[in-house]
Structure 1
């Protein structure tokens, strides 16, 4: 397909204008006034040959530099003056040297420029001996040195800008990968906590229903009703977790889309810890809760705090049974603190079985997203203590979570 003038990119148009301007300002006046040295045809040919290559100076800087230097050498030896100055001191060689220094590596541009300028200077010095009446000089050497320095400065700046853009793009990609990884950690931790807690409660309540089914059927019925309620609540929570993935760019809906159908569910906050503890109390777990009405934190931190308490209490149910447990949630100048302590495990028929150990790992990953700390150690009396500290000021990661939370709530 043939390209018109308007189809050319802007750099090519500028170079064409530069070539036309060079010929029009330095050679055309010589042709019009007839003031040049040598035949008119030679002036036209050499003037055109020196200017036209400038249109391709950025695409092929070395061939342009070679062509311009050869034209100037031939003109000097043939005693042809195709510019308004002595020794054809036009901008052609300076522009070619500047472009080579700008576009090529330093060593390559330096060698090419020295060779080209040396050729032209040698030709001019020789022409001074062959044609002394013309009054030629070696002005091209003087023009080429500052031209190379300016071109090298331009090239160095452009390379620095290119490196800066590349580094910025790399940082943006790394940030995007980190955010996606953190989102996967958050979602996987949420799913683990919800499923683990709900299945533990179902296991405990189904065990109660089995034991009292024949003697106290009303208690068995209540346990089955609690299992149904817990299952529905867990499904709603899973919908809320997966709802954040539904709007992700390029994420297929598939099963997740089906699960997230329906209205979104509010994310858990510190206030939901009360209902979490109350449900366990209804199942016979002696748990005390200390939660100030004024305790608060950013929404992502409150959600993580709820999941931490949920996972800690799930571990109590699974590994300790119906033992005395205390939950304390406080906020102060240092941030939000959580403490879950339980007494030594007791034998009983209501345990939910051993765990996989992923709960504490997920808890640490979740708290690490907010630059927090987790301490989980056995107590001297045989119990277990989980202590978590969220810092007062959330980092950029929490800020990103705040934005994601705002989008979900919006």
Structure 2
């Protein structure tokens, strides 16, 4: 093991170093081959050949670990240069070993450490070498000594500092990008949970309201009009099965990965008519206006917006059934230039189930907020209740 290797191991605490990078191997080998080997071959160095070889290797071999241990490498290279200058050994063709080893070590420190820390470490190391060189000029008056290392180290630090600043900026940008991706993923998951909870609420609330109404009808006409009672019970069975199918589809969408989940038919604007027809069959007076089932391509609405519009109508009509009864109700679904507007307006009723929990309207607002839409809901001045929702739709989507 060479003295340089022992010194490096002692400074870094004998920790295991990673495999050197090819560039580091090229720098270390090139520094020795281009600057020390010619001196040994031609015999133009100053000092014993063995000392030239050992000190030349000791100044370049540590460069293999410059990325893993930049500060220890700079310390070792500086100490080798100090030893060489006081021993009056020149292992490069130039005055006082003016090779690239110290410049590379300083550049690496400036690249890897924060600017203030790298400046302190580099200044201390280069200052030590410079003081040693100035002292050696007085000690060895006949030798070719100079302070050229200082001139090499300053631009090396500036270049390394610029590289380090750029690398740290790129690292911060990557971290910010990853953070935004994590936040986007959390938002998507939160929106998905919100969508699922809203779907479950709408499906269960609407179906149970319909079951309550139709079971009441069946109870009242069971003895006098059994055929009508059987029809009501059949409607209850159909509504229950449909609700179960919808719930299975919603729950399956969160249990199975999207790339493996089977295609599930989601409600759309075309299903609003069947929703209203089912209530009309139970005696509810509802006037419906919806866009043509096949809209022009430039007026098409994204599927998620169509599904949300359907759920808004479903929730609003469920509230009519629960809190107003069989009162005249108007449902308008209008495709406008800037989006889709849904309104459900009912007159005042004398029957119902009180004020309700408010969860339905809260869920509606949350659902519409996912599309950056707006919700206006509240009692009408002349009695009754009105819900108006607007979904913005980009015409270029």
Select the residue among 45, 54, 65 that pairs with 2:63. Answer: 54
Q: Report how far residue 10 of structure 1 moved.
A: 7.0
Q: Report how far residue 265 of structure 1 moved.
A: 4.4
The answer as to 2:371 corresponding to 1:370 is: yes
Distance in 1, Cα, partners of 2:271 & 2:330: 16
Structure 2 SS opposite 1:374: strand
Structure 1 SS opposite 2:96: helix
Distance in 2, Cα, partners of 1:186 & 1:275: 23
The answer as to 2:145 corresponding to 1:136 is: yes
In structure 2, the residue matched to 1:389 is: 390
In structure 1, the residue matched to 2:288 is: 289
Paired residues of 1:286 and 1:325 also in contact (CA < 8 A): yes
Q: Report how far residue 356 of structure 1 moved.
A: 2.3
Structure 1 pair 330/119, CA: closer, same or farther in 2 (3 Å)? same
In structure 2, the residue matched to 1:330 is: 334
Distance in 2, Cα, partners of 1:265 & 1:168: 33
In structure 1, the residue matched to 2:48 is: 39
Paired residues of 1:205 and 1:224 also in contact (CA < 8 A): yes
Q: How does 1:57-206 map to 2 (within 5 A)?
A: 57-206=66-215
Distance in 2, Cα, partners of 1:392 & 1:20: 64
Paired residues of 1:379 and 1:385 also in contact (CA < 8 A): yes
Paired residues of 2:20 and 2:64 also in contact (CA < 8 A): no
More moved, 362-371 vs 232-241: 232-241
Distance in 1, Cα, partners of 2:135 & 2:364: 84
Q: Report how far residue 103 of structure 1 moved.
A: 0.9
Select the residue among 25, 35, 45 that pairs with 1:16. Answer: 25
In structure 2, the residue matched to 1:402 is: none
Structure 1 pair 264/122, CA: closer, same or farther in 2 (3 Å)? closer
Paired residues of 2:52 and 2:91 also in contact (CA < 8 A): yes
Question: Any runs of at least 4 consecutive aligned residues in structure 1 with deviations exceeding 4 A, and if so which?
Answer: 8-11, 351-354
In structure 2, the residue matched to 1:302 is: 306
What is the Cα-based RMSD across aligned positions, in Å?
2.1
More moved, 101-110 vs 151-160: 101-110
- Provide Cα deviations, 1:166-187, integer angstroms capped at 9, x if missing partner: 0000000111111111111111
Q: Report how far residue 132 of structure 1 moved.
A: 2.2
Select the residue among 225, 236, 248 that pairs with 1:227. Answer: 236
More moved, 241-250 vs 55-64: 241-250
How many residue pairs are counted as aligned between the two chains?
376
Q: Report how far residue 241 of structure 1 moved.
A: 2.0
Q: Report how far residue 249 of structure 1 moved.
A: 7.2
In structure 1, the residue matched to 2:358 is: 357
- Provide Cα deviations, 1:51-102, integer angstroms capped at 9, x if missing partner: 1111111111111111111111121122111111111000011111111111
| Gap runs ≥5 in structure 1 | 1-7, 252-259, 400-410
Structure 1 SS opposite 2:325: coil
Distance in 2, Cα, partners of 1:68 & 1:219: 100
Distance in 1, Cα, partners of 2:173 & 2:117: 24
Distance in 1, Cα, partners of 2:350 & 2:241: 30
Structure 1 SS opposite 2:390: strand
Distance in 2, Cα, partners of 1:380 & 1:120: 89
**TM-score normalized with structure 2 length:** 0.90
**TM-score normalized with structure 1 length:** 0.87
Paired residues of 2:18 and 2:68 also in contact (CA < 8 A): no
